Structure 1
């Protein structure tokens, strides 16, 4: 009898944690990235010691999956994080909404307001994910990004520079009729590629041209148990974390923020990633 009570108590606690507590958390990860990708450092516990004025900081958000279960107010933690860390550039790598067919349109105005509060001097850039396209939702998502001040890359590139660095960013949307996996390199100091489904890096014909590839899609499994770890098509090989693809190219797979199928997370808390890009000159000195 006591054993059954204990099991029931543990199961209840597990459900409360996975449906109510963990989805409301936000983990911050910070990486110091040099031109030689073999020397990537996880500086999450002391990132303030690496905040050189010459470094470019990129905030990476993915898989928000806004829905009737995951409302725009969940952006508040992310907004506070970006205010605290002051990134130079903000990037979203797909799946802004979960399913347009089920979208609560009363939340549209609030979602735009929240996305507008994300601010960065080099701008805000996004690509679409597979869920953004469900039921022709990509038309809606495109308008959301436009009203919120984001540049949406639909199989195209954008170049930008300031007094600290120059950067070329390619955004690939594999669901788009314009999909292409080949883009010419530029003379920018940093070459970035945004691709929602990380396994599609195998189709990139000039992979060594890129310094950093940002993706999501996997949710890190979303529910992780000792005997169970779900994987998603498009993220079967690259599931979460950092992967060195040769000596020059680093792939980062975000576990994302939101949820799909069930409104729960277990063992994979929502996360926002920060990349501190160290200039070539400073890397040579260090």
Structure 2
């Protein structure tokens, strides 16, 4: 008479490994592959675009110069008219100098704003203002400037709230808003041709048919991608770096080329 198969401790352990294997592979992918596998996204918002904008955000530079320089090289390869950065360059002041050294390698005018981590780091923004100015762009702290060709008004918000300034834009000029926090769009009554945000990291870890597992404050329903809002088209970039855990699952780091 055949002996019935017994569930031994070894067999139970082996079955457990089989069950957990997909999750283990996903985490290995998130730690070692997807976290630095940059996605280049191309968005066209006009039938007759006149401007090419490269957008990146949320670098959270922690000393990985090889990766940051790879990001800059990809931005330069897009040959944009100018580049926009929407906050969280660093988390600790110790990394500011080398982060600025990488930004200086961007070959196009850089328009940038701080994120919450830049504020929390306690750094002086003067070196970043000098860096952006030297590129032909600007570090914007609740300010507006014209693009290099004088055809686009670029507004840069320095905090969570949007504070519009008196403006006399050039006739028929397009208007772009840089705002770190996507959810602020619901409190904006101005009209823009494009709003660029970050902060969400796209959630860093996303599940099929569900989306982001968790999101920071100031994101709301605008977690990742292009949204049509009352204030105009909002693009929320998934960002370059990470916060807390060095992992990305179904949420690759992103650089966007946007034509308006």
Given the alignment, which residue of 199, 207, 211 partners 1:225? Answer: 207
In 1: Cα distance, 2:248 partner to 2:197 partner: 19
- Kept in 1: contact 2:205–2:248 (CA 8 A): yes
Ranges in structure 2 where 5+ consecutive residues have no aligned partner: 1-10
Which residue does 1:6 correspond to in 2? 18
Which residue does 1:157 correspond to in 2? 144
- Displacement, 1:56? 1.4
Which residue does 1:29 correspond to in 2? 41
Q: Secondary structure at the match of 2:241?
A: coil
In 1: Cα distance, 2:169 partner to 2:33 partner: 45
Q: Secondary structure at the match of 2:84?
A: strand
In 2: Cα distance, 1:200 partner to 1:223 partner: 23
Given the alignment, which residue of 101, 104, 113 partners 2:101? Answer: 113
- Kept in 2: contact 1:142–1:152 (CA 8 A): no
Q: CA RMSD in A?
A: 2.4
Q: Secondary structure at the match of 1:16?
A: helix
Larger Rg: 2
- Displacement, 1:111? 2.3
Matched, 1:66 2:51: no
Given the alignment, which residue of 106, 130, 134 partners 1:146? Answer: 130
**TM-score, scaled to structure 2:** 0.83
In 1: Cα distance, 2:58 partner to 2:98 partner: 18
Which residue does 2:253 correspond to in 1? 270
**TM-score, scaled to structure 1:** 0.76
The structure with more helix, counted as a fraction of residues: 1
Change (3 A) 1:229 1:185: farther
Which residue does 2:224 correspond to in 1? 240
Give the aligned length: 242
Ranges in structure 1 where 5+ consecutive residues have no aligned partner: 40-51, 278-286
- Kept in 2: contact 1:133–1:175 (CA 8 A): no
- Displacement, 1:15? 2.2
